[in-house]
Chain A
C-alpha cells in the first residue's frame, strides 16, 4: 500500500510566483517528513525536513507545513526560480526503524521564465 502519496504528477509556475507541492500520508505514526529535489541523471538532494511534533519549518525560500489531523504536508517555494525546475519527492520515516524512508511518487515542477 502507498503510505506516502503525491497526487499531482506535475506543476507549472511562473518565475517569481509561489510553488506549492502537496503530499498525503496514511500512517499517523511517522516521526518525520522530508522533501527532496531531483534533477535528471542525478541523485535526489535533501531540501528540508520537519518533525511530527512541529507544524512548520522554514529554510530560506523553502517552507514545509504539516497538518497532522489531515495527514497532509506541503512544500512552499517562494519565489520560484528557473533552477527550481526538477522532480520533488516527499518522504516519511520512523526514528526506531533504521531511519528508513518511504517516498512518494514525485511531482515534476516546471518554472517558466
Chain B
C-alpha cells in the first residue's frame, strides 16, 4: 500500500522557471492538500481539494496553481519560480472529519525539497 506518493524528491529551479510537483494517492481519499514548510516553521496550506474537479485556495496560494481531474492525483504547478518559493512541499490526503467529532488525520507524502536559485 503506497499511500501518498510525491515526485520528485528534490529539485533545483532557476528563477523564472516553471515546474509541476506530482502527488498521487491510492487510498480513495476525497480530500487532498498541498502544504509548504519553511525552515523552522510549521506547515502552511497552499491549496486543497474536497473532490475531483473542486479546488480552493489556502493560506499562501500566490505563485501556485492546482488541478484535480481524478480522485487520485493532485498536481501543484509553480509558474515563474522565485527564491521565496524555496521550501519543502508536502502533499496530503484524508477522509472527511468524523461525524461524531475527532479526526482520522491526514496521510502525508514524504515531501519535495525545492530550491530556487
Among B50, B104, B105, chain A packs the most CB atoms within 10 A around the CB of B105
Shortest CB-to-CB span from A21 to chain B, Å, is: 14
Give Cα A46 to B103, complex, Å: 10
Nearest residue in A to B9 (C-beta to C-beta)? A41
Interface residues on B, range: 20 to 34
Number of A-B contacts (CB under 8 A): 81
Shortest CB-to-CB span from B80 to chain A, Å, is: 26
**What are the interface flags for A36-70 relative to B under an 8 Å C-beta threshold, 1 for contact and 0 otherwise?**
10000111111001111110010000000000000
Q: Is B24 an interface residue (CB 8 A)?
A: no
Q: B42–A98 contact, CB under 8 A?
A: no
Complex interface residues of chain B between 38 and 58 (CB less than 8 A to chain A): 40-45, 48, 50, 56, 58
Q: Is A78 an interface residue (CB 8 A)?
A: no
Instruction: Collect the chain B residues with CB atoms within 8 Å of residue A46's CB.
Output: 104-107
Q: B97–A44 contact, CB under 8 A?
A: no
Q: B50–A98 contact, CB under 8 A?
A: yes
Q: Is A103 an interface residue (CB 8 A)?
A: yes
Among B4, B45, B106, chain A packs the most CB atoms within 10 A around the CB of B106
Q: A41–B97 contact, CB under 8 A?
A: no
